[in-house]
Chain A
């Protein structure tokens, strides 16, 4: 069954995925808004950068993060100069890696939602003298709510399934950086298939349920939006 080490890795994974989703929703909203509304030539390059984690093997991201945030890397020198220490082998390092890794899963649904809303509700709000912030909170957010659900669920689930970056940057420290996927990998490599099955089977069921919830909830959201339009 699940022993203490396994429970520790599950707790860490949930903490990491929760924190990542929180950061991504906060930081992803302005980024997605900008991508949806801008006419700048930067839209293409920035959009491509956001989508990169979709196509890059996580090991590539992890490798570059390890090099960039290490003591000789530019980011590592910056974080040291700021007195933050170094990112690898810490929870903060995993958080940074996970935010980058799951970025497109949060930004893209939000961007699509913002684009779908279009100019007219915003103009209507403006004629009623709503401030931009007021417009965003009372018009845009409610309209984009189904997409926020999608973004949060995908960001969370994708982080739970993350492996390559954690493997490269984590250092496999129990309770600190040894997340569930690394734990599963350890069990498989050590030929401890029973323990591996408990965790791997659990992850499989969890992922299925999350996607099922998303697909069951989504059509209603779309219908509601359709009726409202």
Chain B
């Protein structure tokens, strides 16, 4: 057995080394709301280019703190526009590499069917105890929810009923467990194969709030990493954009 291993060892080494020379690796920091589409895109990316995208998911603010403290990420897919811009200004991201890879859509969702009507008029009735949103300070979707309520003239009335999750994921869990009867979350959280997969929902018209643009940026330490540059290019291809759209984003 040992001899067999020894005989094949050089060949094995050659395979391992050549593999790591030919195929690059890119460390990607991904905003949590983009988890599902990015997993698919990373798989497609590896199939087409041979490069491996290693994904880390988290809240944009937390990922920012990690990146500006030297976390080894090559590409950052944020949930907003401001954070990548800030990194670029601070010299942590490559100038001119920023672009919008997805635009999020806001949805008023309830785990109960029939709770939310298609015009969102349930908001006006106030016929519920709690309305969940993501923290407007931390999550662009939370800010868009507040903007929508303001536009509907309901913010003052509904404010006492608001409960905040620190992230979209938490706002979702408040609604999914029924502790909040309904709430504003990202369409991508409840969207599958072209429709809302459970409960009832009102898709908030885009005119009701500023667009929820999510920007990607190349980080400085990866400026010479071809795999990182290729991943950003790949995100703009029709194939990747079709995946992004299938999760309820615009791209």
Contacts and interface: CB of A to CB of B under 8 A. Distances in A.
Interface of A: 63, 66-67, 70-73, 86, 88-89, 167-168, 171-173, 182, 185-186, 188-191
Dominant secondary structure of chain A at its interface with chain B: loop
B18 interface: no
5 contacts: A168-B170, A171-B174, A171-B180, A172-B165, A188-B62
Contacts, number: 64
A89 B130 contact: yes
Interface residues of B, number: 24
B22 interface: no
B174 A190 contact: no
B33 interface: no
Interface in B40-73: 59, 61-62, 64-65
Contacts of A73: 177
A168 B163 CA distance: 11
Nearest to A171: B163
A89 B61 contact: no
Contacts of B165: 171-172
Interface string B130-151: 1010010110000000000000
B179 A86 contact: yes
B59 A189 contact: yes
A86 B163 CA distance: 14
Contact of A185 (B64, B166, B174, B180): B166
Nearest to B137: A190
B39 to A, nearest CB: 23
B173 A171 contact: no
Given A70-B177, A70-B178, A172-B163, A188 B137 contact: no
A185 B164 CA distance: 13
Nearest to A167: B166
A-B pairs, 10 with minimum CB distance: A171-B163, A189-B61, A172-B164, A70-B177, A71-B178, A70-B179, A88-B179, A189-B138, A89-B163, A190-B137
Contacts of A173: 162-164
Contacts of B135: 172, 186, 189
B170 A188 contact: no
B166 A189 contact: yes
Contacts of B173: 63, 66, 168
A167 B166 CA distance: 8
Contacts of B130: 89, 171
Nearest to B174: A171
B137 A89 contact: no
A60 to B, nearest CB: 13
B173 to A, nearest CB: 7
Contacts of B177: 66-67, 70, 72-73
A189 B164 contact: no
B69 to A, nearest CB: 11
Contacts of A185: 166
Contacts of B62: 188-189
A188 B179 contact: no
Contacts of A67: 177
A58 to B, nearest CB: 14
Given A73-B177, A168-B173, A190-B61, 17 more contacts: A63-B173, A66-B177, A67-B177, A72-B178, A86-B129, A86-B179, A89-B180, A167-B166, A172-B135, A172-B164, A173-B163, A173-B164, A186-B166, A188-B61, A189-B59, A189-B137, A189-B166
